[in-house]
Structure 1
Amino acid sequence: MCVTATVEGSTTQYNLSGTGIMAPGWMGVGFGSQMADSPMVILWSNSDGTITLSQRQAPAEVMPTVVSNPPRTATLLNNVSTASGSSPQFVFSIPSESTVTVPTIWAFGSINPGSSSPSATLQMHLESIAANFDLSKDFNGTTGSTVAASSTALLPFQRLVIAHGILLTIGFLVFLPSGVLLARYLRTFSAKWFTGHWIVQVMISGPVIIIGFALGIRAVVETGAPPLSDNHMKWGVAIFVLYIFQCSLGAFIHWVKFDIRVMGRPPQNYFHALLGLFIIGIALYQVRTGYRSEWPKIGRGALGVSTDDVWYTWVVILPVFYIIGLAFLPKQLRQEKSQRKTKFHESREEVVLTDFETRSKE
C-alpha cells in the first residue's frame, strides 16, 4: 500500500491506496510510533460499493476497537475515493497535528472484514510500517503529495518474534546438532563423551530453547492471535515437549539400566537416537515455516532468497556430517562388544571366586 498526506489549511488529507500487487482487505493509518495507544483510522470497501471508516485504538499489539470519541474526527471523502479493483483508494481528512513531523504507522490487511459496521472484526495485518511524516515540504508534482518516511522501526511484538526466531534457530539447528555430532564422533575416542553431550544438549541448549519458546508465546499474546491457531504454533509446542521428553529419556537411559538387549544394547537407546534425529529434522521444517509463512505476517515483508540458500545449505551439511560420523560405528560396536566380554569374564571370575571362598569355609 501507499500512503500520501497533504496539508490543506487546518486539515490534512490522507490517501491510502493499493499497489495492485494484492487486493487489500483493509488499510489503515495510526498516529504514533507504535500500535499501542495510537489513534487509528481504518478503512475497507463493502460489497455494495461503499467504504467504511472506523476510528479505533488498542492498548497493545491486539485488534484495535472502536473509539466513540476520538481525539480527532476523520471524515471520509467519497468523491475522491475508489472502492473497486485491486488498487482501491481510500481518502479521508482529519484536523491537522500541531507539529509538522508526525510519527505514523500504517498497516495493510488482506482479508476484508465482510461487514460495513465500523466495529467489525479485523484479521491481523499482513504488513505494517512505522515512519515519520514530514509535512513541512512543499507540494511535489501534480498530486500534491507531501510525505517523507524517514525510517522504519520495529514494533515491540516484532522484536519478540525476531528474538524468538533467532534463539530457537540457534538452539535447535546449531546447539542440538553439535551435541549429536559430539556424541557420534567422540564416543569411540573418549569415555567422557557423555559429559560433553549432556552439557551441550541440556546446559547450553536448554536455556536458549526455553527462552526462545517463552518469547514466542509472548509474541502471540502481544498480537492477540488465538493460541495454537496455525501449524507453526502447534508444531512449536510439540517440538518443545519432545525436547523436554528427550532430555528426560537421556537421563533415564544413563542412570537406569536394563538387562534386555537388542543387538547388544537396550531398545530405549535406539529410540533415544532416532528421536533426537527426528527432533532436528522437524526443527529444520519448523524454521522454514517460520521464516516463509510466519515472518511475512508480522508486516516486515518476505525475506530474501539468501535465507532459503542458508536453509538449503544447512539441510545438506547436517546429514553429511552425521553420515561421515557413522564411519566410526563399526569401531564403536567392536569396543562395546569387547567391553561386554570383559564384564562377562569379570563376572564369571567373581562368581568362581565367591564359590571357592564358600567351599573353603565349609
Structure 2
Amino acid sequence: MPGSASTASSDPRCEADSRIHNPVADTITPSPTLLTTAARDFVLLATAVAGLLFGIPTDAQQLERRANDANHASSTFVYSDASGLNLTFALNAATSTGDLCFHMSAPAAYSWVGVGTGKQMRDSLMFIAYTDSSGHGITLSPRIATGNSEPTYTASKNVTVETSSGMADDQSTYVVDACCHNCTTWSRGSLDLMSKTAPFIFALGGGYATVSTSPAASIERHEVFGSFTMDMQQATSDGAGGVPQPNAPNGTYVTSGASLATGLKQDNNYGPPLHALVMCLAFVLVFPFGALLLRVLESVKWHAGVQIIGFIIAFVGVASGIYIATMYNKSKSYSSAHQVLGLLLTVALLVQLSFGIVHHRLYKKHQKPTIMGRIHKYLGPSIILLGIVNGGLGFSFANRSNRNVPYIIVVVLVALTFAAIVFFKKRRGNRRVKAPQNGGGEFAYGGPQTYGGAAPQPYDAVYGREGGAIPLSHMSSQASMPPPPPYGARAGTPLYTHENGSGISREVTPRPMV
C-alpha cells in the first residue's frame, strides 16, 4: 500500500538498514577533479621513488637533459700526470643511434693514448690514438682486448674523425674529436647508459712513438694506466648527440660527471730488454768463449762446462721470448724471420748438446772418432754465427733498428779479440814444434826426455858465434828409435825398449790419447 511504503521510507532506521544491506546503492561517487589530482600525485610519487631506487630519470631530469641536448650532454674526465699535463676524455652517448661521440686529448710525449670501457682490459672496447705517417694527423683505432695484452683492431666498428682532430700546432698534444657509430654494444660487451658509475680504463703508451696510418699498427706497452667512472645518465642524450664541447667558461674541459683517476700504476717493459741481453750474452760471449777454451786450453771439461752454462742462459732467453710473443699482436703468430730462426736455433742447440755428450762417451770407450763428433765440430760455429745474425733481426723486429750499430761494433770487437788469442796460441805452438831441432826433447813422444849422452847446449856453444859447422851428434840417438805407437793403443802397455846413453835399456810407454 502507498501509505505503508511512504512510512517505511521515511523511517530513519529503515534508511540505515537499507545502507547496510545495499552498500552499492549507498556508494559515494567522488568528483572528477579530485580523482585526477590524486592520480597525478600518485604517479609523481611513484616516479620519484622509482628514480631513487632504480635510477630512472625524473621529469625534471628529462627536461634538463633535453635542454642540454643542444650543447650535447656529456661527462668529462681529466687526469693530470706527474708533469702536470692533462689527459682529457669527454663523452656523449646518443640513445637514438647508439653512437659514442667523444673529445680526447693527451700529451704527445707518450707514444699513444687510449681509453676503454669496463674495469679491465679483457672484453673492453677501446679507442686508441697515435700519430699518423705525416706526423701532423691522428690515426684513431677502435680495438677490443682479449686479456692483458695488446688490444686488436676491430673493423666492425666504424669511426668518424672530425677535421678538428690532429696534432696541436706546437706538436705537443694529441687532439681527437670523433664518433663511433653504433658502439654502445659490441661483440664482447655493452655500455650501460643508465649507470651513474660506469667503469672506464685509460692508458698512456711508452717507448718509441707509434707513427702509422694503419688502425692495426703495433703499439708499445703502456707506461701509465688507471681507471675511473662516468655518469652515463649525464652523458646520454635523446637526440643525435655529438662531440662534447668545452664545459668551462674559459673554453677548456674540467671534470664533470666523472670520478678522479684510481688504481694508477707506473708500468715498466722489462721483458724485451731482458730477452735481448740474455741472448746476446749467450751467443756473442759465452758460446764463443767455450769454443775458445777448447782451442787454447785444450780442455774438454772446461769447454763442456762453459757451453752448458751457455745453453742454460740461451734457454732462459727462449722462455722470455715466448712469453713476450703473447703480449703483442705481431708476434703471436710466430711468422717473423727472427722468431722462425730463433726456434730453429733452439732445436739446433738441443742437437748440439746431445751430440757432444754422446760423442764424448763413445770416444772414451772406443778411442775412435764418431760421425756425431764431426757434426758437433761444424754445427757449433754455425749456431753461433746464425745466433749473432738473429740478434740483429731481433732488434729490427722490436722496432729498435738503431741498436744494430752498437751491436755490430761489440760483435766485431769480440771476434777480433778471440781471433787474436787463437792466432798467438798457434804461433806459440809452431815455435814449440821447432824446438827439438835445436836439441830439446820437450815434444818427443812420451814427454820430456834426453836422448844421447850429452845434455843440450846453448845456441852459441853448439853453433858458434861465427856460424861454423853444425854438429848434430846430440840427435843421433833419435835415429835409432822405432816409430811411434799406432793411434788408439792401450795406455800403460810397453811397446818397445830404448837404450839410453848409459847403456841401460828401459821400457817406453805412450801417454794416453784423450
State if a TM-score over 0.5 links the two structures. yes
What is the Cα-based RMSD across aligned positions, in Å? 5.4
Q: Which residue of 2 aligns with 1:312?
A: 409
Q: Which residue of 1 aligns with 2:146?
A: 58
Q: Answer yes or no: is the 8 Å Cα contact 1:16–1:91 preserved in 2.
A: no
- 1:294-350 per-residue CA deviation (whole Å, 9 max, x = no partner) reads 222xxxxx4756x62253133232243134324434749969995794565966966
C-alpha distance in 2 between matches for 1:77 and 1:227: 31
Q: Quick check: 1:104 aligned with 2:197?
A: no
Q: Answer yes or no: is the 8 Å Cα contact 1:184–1:326 preserved in 2.
A: no
C-alpha distance in 1 between matches for 2:149 and 2:488: 68
Q: Quick check: 1:13 aligned with 2:103?
A: yes
Q: Which residue of 2 aligns with 1:248?
A: 354
C-alpha distance in 1 between matches for 2:375 and 2:175: 59
Q: Which amino acid aligns with 2:115?
A: G
C-alpha distance in 2 between matches for 1:233 and 1:167: 16
Equivalenced residue count is 300
Change (3 A) 1:43 1:288: closer
Give unmatched runs, 5+ long, in structure 1: 46-50, 69-73, 114-121, 188-192, 297-301, 354-362
Change (3 A) 1:65 1:316: closer
Identity rate, percent = 16
Change (3 A) 1:217 1:7: closer
Q: Superposition pairs for residues 101-140 of structure 1, below 5 Å?
A: 103-106=202-205, 108=210, 110=212, 112=214, 122=216, 124-127=217-220, 129-131=222-224
Q: Quick check: 1:205 aligned with 2:293?
A: no
Q: Answer yes or no: is the 8 Å Cα contact 1:34–1:105 preserved in 2.
A: no
Q: Answer yes or no: is the 8 Å Cα contact 1:35–1:105 preserved in 2.
A: no
Q: Quick check: 1:239 aligned with 2:345?
A: yes
Q: Which amino acid aligns with 1:328?
A: K
Q: 1:283 aligns with which of 375, 379, 387?
A: 387
Which structure carries more helix by proportion? 1
Change (3 A) 1:8 1:222: closer
Q: Answer yes or no: is the 8 Å Cα contact 1:220–1:226 preserved in 2.
A: yes
TM-score by length of 2: 0.45
Change (3 A) 1:275 1:284: same
Q: 2:274 aligns with which of 138, 144, 163?
A: 163
Other structure's SS at 1:222 match: coil
- Of the two structures, which has the highest relative contact order with CA contacts closer than 8 Å and spacing of 6 or more? 1
Q: Which residue of 1 aligns with 2:59?
A: none
Q: Which amino acid aligns with 1:232?
A: H
Q: Answer yes or no: is the 8 Å Cα contact 1:58–1:65 preserved in 2.
A: no
Q: CA deviation at 1:248?
A: 1.6
Q: Which amino acid aligns with 2:273?
A: I
Q: CA deviation at 1:8?
A: 6.5
C-alpha distance in 1 between matches for 2:326 and 2:390: 20
Q: Which residue of 1 aligns with 2:115?
A: 30
Q: Which residue of 2 aligns with 1:322?
A: 419
Give unmatched runs, 5+ long, in structure 2: 1-84, 94-101, 133-138, 181-192, 229-246, 255-263, 434-441, 447-482, 498-514
Q: Quick check: 1:194 aligned with 2:287?
A: no
Change (3 A) 1:178 1:285: same
Greater Cα shift, 27-36 or 175-184: 27-36
Q: Quick check: 1:179 aligned with 2:263?
A: no
Q: Answer yes or no: is the 8 Å Cα contact 2:367–2:488 preserved in 1.
A: no
Change (3 A) 1:38 1:130: farther
Greater radius of gyration (CA): 2
C-alpha distance in 2 between matches for 1:43 and 1:214: 32
Greater Cα shift, 34-43 or 8-17: 8-17
Q: CA deviation at 1:131?
A: 2.8
